[in-house]
Each structure stands twice: as structure tokens, then as C-alpha cells.
């Protein structure tokens, strides 16, 4: 059975509405998608780290309850599990405050095995952080050597905008490793000060990675590949919280690749019709997650999704 391997941070999101906490849910960009895939009964492995504390225990239990193994989670003795305060605005989009206290020694774990056609997903600042860079490269090299499909979501938040230049070499390296890049319009404004999809694809992505998807909230989705140039519309929905929308778009795309048996070798010659079906999965997962405070698709959705 094909496997999906994720690497990224785990964090407890405390969600605020009108300045009052309304929910606390385990989160993290790659984490949110991996939980959804676990609920869909995909064979998933997640590489991450948590503290030996109450928050860490909540996250660990949550993973176990959702078919995500904790075998590759480093439980660090010093420091604390990360927490975020996510303040929802009137559109139910979040503004974050992060609280992090990591130890010096990071990701002290063995990696899972990776086989041909498995899918590795990575992204966010976690994929750029100089402290974790050697570990990240080790995993990416291994995934490439094994011919896994590598999926990269830069998820570049405005808090890192000031260091975009400094991070450029690592971003480029990540793009080179990637077989699919999916980012939001905000990511590319924060990284490159660009908001034109054509320019982003032609000047910043295409040379390194042929398959590109750019989402822009509830506006359109742009797909650019060697053979397909297409823009998709997004149905507007009444969102309870948009937290995890992009993360679950990724999960949907990955689910689509598995559902339609797309192998590493098929990826660069997919037809427009096949991309339509895969993008539809991304849209479905993303819309579902906006319907509640949960950061992942619901178990009911997972049970009924065809
Ligand atoms: O950037 C990290 C934050 O982003 C999210 O993954 C949502 O996309 C949250 O769960 C997490 O707190």
C-alpha cells in the first residue's frame, strides 16, 4: 500500500472569537492534512516533535485516535510543546500568535522507510528553518532517491516576510526537490512581492518544478503544468473557520493522486481531465474543513467521501 509521509510542526491552536477562546484543537500545517488522510484510512507517517507535557499528550492522543502513528514523533524532555492563539476576524480567517520553546537538540528520531510512489509532504517555515535544514535535506534526498512524489507547500506567512531574501536559497532548494508546489497568493506576495500567477509560475517556479497550483482563498485556483493551464472557480461557502483550508486542499490533492493511482512517472504527463478530478478532491477537502473549528475533515466526511 502506498504511504504518505509528512514532516512539520505540531501545535495546539487555541481559537479565539470576539477575544474569547472558543476551541482548542491540535494543528500545524502538514499535521492538519495528515490527520485528514489518516481519517480517510490512508497509510500515513508523521515526523515531528512535541514536549513531554500536557499539550504534547493531547496531541499524541489525538494522533493515535486518528490512525496516525506516533513512532516518528520526537518527545523532547526540555522545552514545551508549541501553542498558538488563533484570533478569527469577521471573515473567520485567523491571525496567529505563536508560543514556542524548543530545545537545542531537534528531531532526534529515525525516519520512516519510503518507497517508490509514496508521497512526501513538507512545507512552511519548518522546511526552511536553518536549525532543521540538515535533517530536512537528509529526508528530501532519501525521498528523491526512492522516487517518492514530493509535495511542497511554502505556506510563507507575513511574519517571515522580512527574512524572505535570506531564505531564498532554501526556498529554491525546496522547489528543486518538489514534484508539485501548491501555495496561496499570500505566500507569493510575502516571498516575492508578486501577485500575478503567470509571473510567479514563469519566473519563480517552472524552472524548478513543472506542476504548480496557486490558491487564493475563496477566489479561483490556478493550475499550471507542462501541458495544462487552467483556472478553476471556487464555490463560496459560509465559513465557521478557514483555519486549515490550505492544509486540507493539499490533503485533498494527495488523496486524489492516490485515488486515481497516479504514480511518480505519470505525474508530468497528466491530462486536463485527470487534473480536474484531482483538483476537485482538493476543493472538497478544503470546503469541508471550513465548516467547523476542526483543522481536518470530519470522520463523517471521511466515511462518506467517494
Ligand atoms: O502556521 C501554523 C498554523 O497554521 C495552521 O496549520 C493552519 O494552517 C495552524 O493549525 C497552525 O497553528
C-alpha to C-alpha distances, 201 to 69, 91, 147, 221, nearest whole angstrom: 36, 29, 24, 13
Ligand 1 centroid–CA 70 distance in Å is 19
Q: Is any ligand 1 atom within 6 A of the Cβ of residue 27? A: yes
pLDDT at res. 306 = 86
Q: Is any ligand 1 atom within 6 A of the Cβ of residue 11? A: yes
**pLDDT at 236 exceeding the cut of 90:** no
Tell me if the pTM is above 0.95: yes
Q: What CATH code is assigned to 3-301?
A: 3.40.1190.20
Which DSSP category does 69 fall into? B
Domain spans in the chain, listed from the N-terminal domain onward: 3-301
Ligand 1 centroid–CA 272 distance in Å is 31
Ligand 1 centroid–CA 95 distance in Å is 10
Q: What are phi and psi of 58, to 5 degrees?
A: -60, -45
pLDDT at res. 227 = 96
Strand ranges, E, within the chain? 3-7, 11-17, 20-27, 43-51, 73-76, 80-88, 94-101, 119-123, 149-153, 180-184, 211-215, 221-224, 229-232
Write the pLDDT tens digit of every residue in 241-263.
999 999 999 999 999 999 999 99
pLDDT at res. 202 = 98
pLDDT at res. 98 = 96
Confidence of residue 218 (pLDDT cuts 50, 70, 90): confident
Ligand 1 atom nearest to 25, measured from its CA: 10
Q: Is any ligand 1 atom within 6 A of the Cβ of residue 82? A: no
| 164-175 mean pLDDT | 98
Q: Is any ligand 1 atom within 6 A of the Cβ of residue 28? A: yes
Instruction: Concatenate the DSSP letters of all residues of 148-205 into one string.
Output: -EEEEE----GGGGGGHHHHHHHHHHHHHH-SEEEEEHHHHHHHHS---HHHIIIIII
Q: How far apart are CA 128 and CA 215, in angstroms?
A: 21
Confidence of residue 153 (pLDDT cuts 50, 70, 90): very high
Write the pLDDT tens digit of every residue in 12-54.
999 999 999 999 999 999 999 999 999 999 999 999 999 999 9
Confidence of residue 203 (pLDDT cuts 50, 70, 90): very high
Amino acid at each position: 500500500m502506498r504511504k504518505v509521509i509528512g514532516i512539520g510542526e505540531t501545535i495546539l491552536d487555541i481559537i479565539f472569537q470576539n477575544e474569547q477562546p472558543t476551541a482548542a484543537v491540535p494543528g500545524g500545517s502538514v499535521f492538519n492534512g495528515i490527520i485528514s488522510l489518516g481519517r480517510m484510512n490512508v497509510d500515513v507517517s508523521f515526523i515531528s516533535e512535541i514536549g513531554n507535557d500536557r499539550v504534547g499528550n493531547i496531541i499524541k492522543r489525538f494522533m493515535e485516535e486518528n490512525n496516525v502513528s506516533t513512532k516518528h514523533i520526537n518527545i523532547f524532555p526540555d522545552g514545551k510543546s508549541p501553542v498558538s492563539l488563533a484570533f478569527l476576524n469577521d471573515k473567520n480567517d485567523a491571525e496567529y500568535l505563536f508560543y514556542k520553546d524548543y530545545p537545542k537538540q531537534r528531531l532526534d528520531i529515525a525516519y520512516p522507510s519510503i518507497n517508490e510512489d509514496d508521497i512526501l509532504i513538507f512545507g512552511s517555515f519548518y522546511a526552511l528553518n536553518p536549525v532543521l535544514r540538515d535533517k530536512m535535506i537528509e529526508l528530501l534526498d532519501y525521498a528523491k532517491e526512492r522516487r517518492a512524489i514530493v509535495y511542497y507547500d511554502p505556506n510563507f506567512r507575513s511574519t517571515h516576510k522580512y527574512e524572505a531574501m535570506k531564505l531564498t536559497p532554501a526556498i529554491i532548494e525546496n522547489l528543486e526537490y518538489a514534484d508539485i508546489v501548491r501555495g496561496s497568493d499570500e505566500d507569493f506576495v510575502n516571498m516575492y512581492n508578486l501577485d500575478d500567477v503567470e509571473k510567479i509560475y514563469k519566473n519563480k517556479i517552472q524552472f524548478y518544478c513543472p506542476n504548480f497550483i496557486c490558491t487564493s482563498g475563496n477566489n479561483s485556483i490556478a493550475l499550471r503544468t507542462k501541458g495544462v493551464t487552467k483556472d478553476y472557480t471556487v464555490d463560496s461557502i459560509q465559513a465557521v473557520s478557514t483555519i486549515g483550508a490550505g492544509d486540507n486542499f493539499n490533503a485533498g490533492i494527495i488523496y486524489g493522486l492516490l485515488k486515481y493511482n497516479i504514480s511518480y512517472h505519470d505525474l508530468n504527463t497528466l491530462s486536463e481531465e485527470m487534473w480536474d478530478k484531482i483538483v476537485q478532491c482538493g476543493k472538497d477537502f478544503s470546503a469541508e474543513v471550513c465548516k467547523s473549528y476542526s483543522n481536518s475533515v470530519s470522520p463523517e466526511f471521511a466515511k462518506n467521501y467517494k
